[in-house]
Chains A and B, each alone.
Chain A
Amino acid sequence: MAKFFAVTIIVIAILSAIPILRHTWVAPEDISTHGALIDEQMTETMAEAGISFLAAQFILAIFIWKYSNRGPDAKIKSFPGGAKGLVIAALLVVGVEVMALGIFGVKAWANVYLTPPSAGAMPIQVQAGQFAFYFRYPGPDGKFGPIHPELINEGSQNYYGLDPEHDVDSRDDIVTAEMAIPVNKEVHLLMHSKDVGHSFYVRELRVQQDFVPGLDVSLHFTATKVGKYEIVCTQLCGLGHYNMKAYLEVMSQADFDDWLKKEQAMQ
Chain B
Amino acid sequence: MSEPGTAAAGGRAASAPLLGNMAEPTIFELSQPGRSSWQLRTTGIPEWSVEELVPAEHRRSDPVPLAEVSERDLVGHFTRLSHRQFSVDLGAYPLGSCTMKYNPKTCDTVAGLPGLSNVHPGAPAALTQGWLELLVDLEEMLCEITGMAAATLQPAAGAAGELTGLLLMRAWHDAQGEQRRRVVIPDSAHGTNPASVTLGGYEVTTVPSDERGCVDMAALRSVLDTDVAGIMLTNPNTLGLFEEDIVPIAEAVHEVGGLLYYDGANLNAILGVVRPGDMGFDIVHMNLHKTFATPHGGGGPGAGPVAVSPRLVDFLPGPRPVRIAGGATSGAGPADPGVRATADPESGTGDLRFGWSVPPHSVGRVHSWHGNALVLARALAYITVHGGDGLRRVAERAVLNANWVRTRLSGVYDVPFDRTCMHEVVLAASTLRKQHGLRALDVAKRLLEEGFHSPTVYFPLVVDEALMIEPTETESLQTLEALADALERIAAGAAVDDSFKAAPRTTPVRRVDEARAARTLVPTFDARG
Is chain B a partner of chain A in the same complex? no
